[in-house]
């Protein structure tokens, strides 16, 4: 960003303004918009104009009955006024993404002004990464800025394909994207050890690639959440009615064997909070994770598991956390996730570098007001996971290639 002279130039900027809205289309969480403000303000403060592109929801998956796009629900115009208030600058809205009006409004834009284009996903060409649509989008601005880390793993027109229409010196990451890449780099390149990965959530199948990758990166892997029971069962434990992916049992054994071979320590929850139904109002008891009675299911890690996990976390110098330790949406099964959040914050205070990524763990850290007590909270769940998995993200490659 800072190497580019924005004076008198129009920056066309991909942001992730995919914010949640209530029924009256009020924004219920404006974090994603606030996070893009430094990049937008930088361009304005340096004599440039900004043309914003974003998607909002999945309009093509929820068409009106007659097959048309539900503009009322998905228009980015819902965000124009809130963005104006946040920036302290009036934001103009263009009712199309590309076309004659978009070209005219962009051409008329003066330094210091902001124009927001209509939802990029109103066009089917966006998700297809259509070249012609990308070229039209690119023609609206002179400098391409990508600050949408949350969609960097998608090779869509506005997130990736349009970058090729700008010379290398006129395309850049925004500040948010820069810091995501920098912080992922801190854990991927020469991390301090002991390095601990904490994983949780519902499914082993979603995290296989990540777990395999961790085997080459980390010293310790803590496995909590529903996915832990597939491992406990694979080792011969009785897990009652806990979540188990039967077809992943052989894989769990294989992962445990590979970990042993590579000297990576795997920590599974010694005990669990088991409930007699999937309900916050269920009866629950603390039991060993490998002797959960039939009819009961592990919905959170137990007290002993918390203590064991805490010890590993507090002895770590680098920590990645992705996925909750239990069904943290239900208050009776949130204690494990909360305790781990506190432990990660404590380790950070003691000098560890901690990166929290993935929707649910980020939500847990935010709920507890601990977001500023960990080193970095990633805004891109899927994108951060793919980066940690060692994949090259198309949105990053397009800017740097
Ligand atoms: P994921 O999207 O795979 O990260 O999974 C997140 C979801 O896993 C959350 O909605 C949690 O409620 C759920 N989860 C965590 N632990 C358990 C568990 N022990 N049993 C069932 N679901 C769980």
Domain boundaries, the chain: 10-173, 181-388
**pLDDT tops 80 at residue 93:** yes
Please check the confidence at residue 269 and state whether its pLDDT lies above 80: yes
Nearest-atom index, ligand 1, CA of 358 = 4
pLDDT of residue 375: 96
Catalytic residue list contains 382:
yes
pLDDT band, very low/low/confident/very high, at 191 (cuts 50, 70, 90): very high
Q: What is the pLDDT of residue 357?
A: 86
Q: What is the pLDDT of residue 388?
A: 86
> Residue 296: which residues within 8 A CB-CB, separation 6 or more?
240, 241, 242, 274, 275, 276, 285, 287
pLDDT of residue 15: 98
From the candidates 41, 203, 265, 317, which is the catalytic residue? 203
Instruction: Name the pLDDT band for 384 (thresholds 50, 70, 90).
Output: confident
- Find residue 265's DSSP bridge partners: 220
pLDDT of residue 364: 85
C-alpha dihedral sign at 89, 59, 150, 172 = negative
Model confidence at 206, pLDDT cuts 50, 70, 90, reads confident
pLDDT, position 167:
97
More confident residue, 32 or 326: 326
Q: What is the DSSP letter of 353?
A: E
For residue 368, name the pLDDT band (cuts at 50, 70, 90): confident
Lining ligand 1 with CB less than 6 A are: 201-203, 206, 225-226, 243, 298-299, 323-324, 326-327, 329, 360
Closest CA to 86 of 52, 48, 58, 111: 52
Average confidence (pLDDT) over 155-168: 98
Q: What atom in ligand 1 is closest to the CA of residue 324?
A: 15
Strands (E) in 1-89, as ranges, are 10-14, 49-53
Q: Are 362 and 356 in contact (CB under 8 A)?
A: yes
32 catalytic, yes or no? yes
Query: Residue 59: which of 70, 45, 46, 48 has the closest Cα?
Result: 70
At residue 390 the predicted structure's pLDDT band, cuts being 50, 70 and 90, is: confident
Rounded to two decimals, the pTM is 0.87
Q: How many CA atoms lie within 13 A of 271 on its CB side?
A: 13
Q: By alpha-carbon position, which residue is closest to atom 18 of ligand 1? A: 226
Q: What pLDDT sits at residue 358?
A: 76
Please indicate whether residue 240 is annotated as part of the active site. no
| pLDDT for 203 beyond 90 | no
Question: Residue 213 catalytic?
Answer: no
Atom of ligand 1 nearest to the CA of 225: 16
Which class is domain 10-173? alpha beta
Question: Cα separation of 150 and 143, whole Å?
Answer: 21
Instruction: Give per-residue pLDDT as tens, 209-238.
Output: 889 999 999 999 999 999 999 999 999 999
Strands, DSSP E only, in 9-106? 10-14, 49-53, 91-94
Pocket test for ligand 1, best of 198, 199, 200, 202 (most atoms within 8 A of CB): 202
Work out the average pLDDT over 9-14.
98
pLDDT at 360: 81
Ligand 1 atom closest to 323 (CA): 4
Fold match flag (10-173 vs 181-388): yes
Assign 232 to helix, strand or coil. helix
Mean confidence (pLDDT) of the chain:
95
- Look at the domain 181-388 and name its fold: Rossmann fold (3.40.50)
Is residue 208 scored above 90 in pLDDT?
no
pLDDT, tens digit, 9 for 90 and up, residues 305-344: 999 999 999 999 999 999 999 999 999 999 999 999 999 9
Catalytic one of 32, 121, 154, 338: 32
* Paired sense of beta strands 318-322 and 297-301, if any: unpaired
Cα separation, 3 vs 14, whole angstroms? 19
Of the candidates 353, 349, 345, 347, the residue with the CA atom closest to the CA atom of residue 369: 345
- Closest by CA to 376, choosing from 145, 102, 182, 167, is 182
- Give the pLDDT score at 379: 81
Nearest to 224 by CA among 330, 287, 300, 285: 300
Is the pLDDT reported for residue 290 higher than 90?
yes
């Amino acid at each position: 960003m800072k190497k580019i002279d924005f004076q008198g130039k129009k920056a066309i900027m991909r942001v992730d303004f995919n914010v949640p809205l209530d029924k009256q289309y009020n924004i219920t969480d404006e974090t994603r918009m606030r996070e893009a403000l430094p990049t937008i303000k930088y361009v304005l403060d340096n004599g440039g104009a900004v043309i914003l592109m974003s998607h909002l929801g999945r309009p093509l998956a929820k068409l009106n009955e007659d097959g048309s796009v539900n503009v009322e629900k998905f228009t980015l115009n819902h965000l124009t006024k809130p963005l104006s208030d946040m920036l302290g600058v009036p934001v103009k809205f263009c009712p199309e993404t590309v076309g004659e009006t978009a070209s005219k409004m962009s051409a008329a834009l003066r330094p210091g002004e902001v124009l927001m284009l209509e939802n990029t996903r109103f066009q089917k060409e966006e998700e297809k990464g259509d070249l012609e649509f990308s070229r039209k989008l690119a023609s609206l601005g002179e400098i391409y800025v990508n600050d949408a880390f949350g969609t960097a793993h998608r090779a869509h027109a506005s997130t990736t394909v349009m970058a090729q229409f700008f010379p290398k010196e006129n395309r850049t990451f925004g500040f948010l994207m820069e810091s995501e890449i920098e912080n992922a780099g801190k854990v991927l390149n020469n991390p301090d050890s002991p390095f601990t990965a904490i994983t949780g959530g519902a499914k082993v199948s979603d995290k296989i690639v990540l777990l395999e990758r961790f085997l080459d990166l980390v010293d310790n892997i803590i496995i909590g959440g529903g996915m832990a029971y597939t491992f406990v069962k694979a080792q011969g434990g009785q897990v009652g009615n806990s979540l188990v992916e039967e077809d992943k049992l052989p894989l769990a054994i294989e992962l445990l064997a590979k970990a042993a071979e590579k000297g990576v320590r795997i920590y599974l929850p010694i005990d669990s909070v088991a409930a007699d139904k999937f309900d916050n109002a269920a009866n629950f008891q603390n039991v060993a994770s490998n002797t959960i009675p039939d009819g009961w299911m592990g919905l959170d890690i137990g007290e002993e598991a918390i203590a064991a996990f805490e010890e590993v976390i507090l002895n770590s110098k680098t920590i990645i956390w992705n996925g909750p330790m239990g069904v943290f949406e239900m208050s009776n099964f949130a204690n494990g996730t909360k305790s781990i959040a506190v432990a990660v914050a404590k380790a950070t205070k003691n000098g560890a570098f901690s990166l929290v990524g993935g929707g649910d763990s980020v939500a847990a850290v935010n709920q507890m007001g601990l977001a500023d007590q960990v080193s970095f909270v990633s805004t891109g769940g899927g994108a951060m996971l793919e980066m940690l998995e060692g994949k090259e993200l198309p949105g990053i490659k397009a800017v740097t290639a």
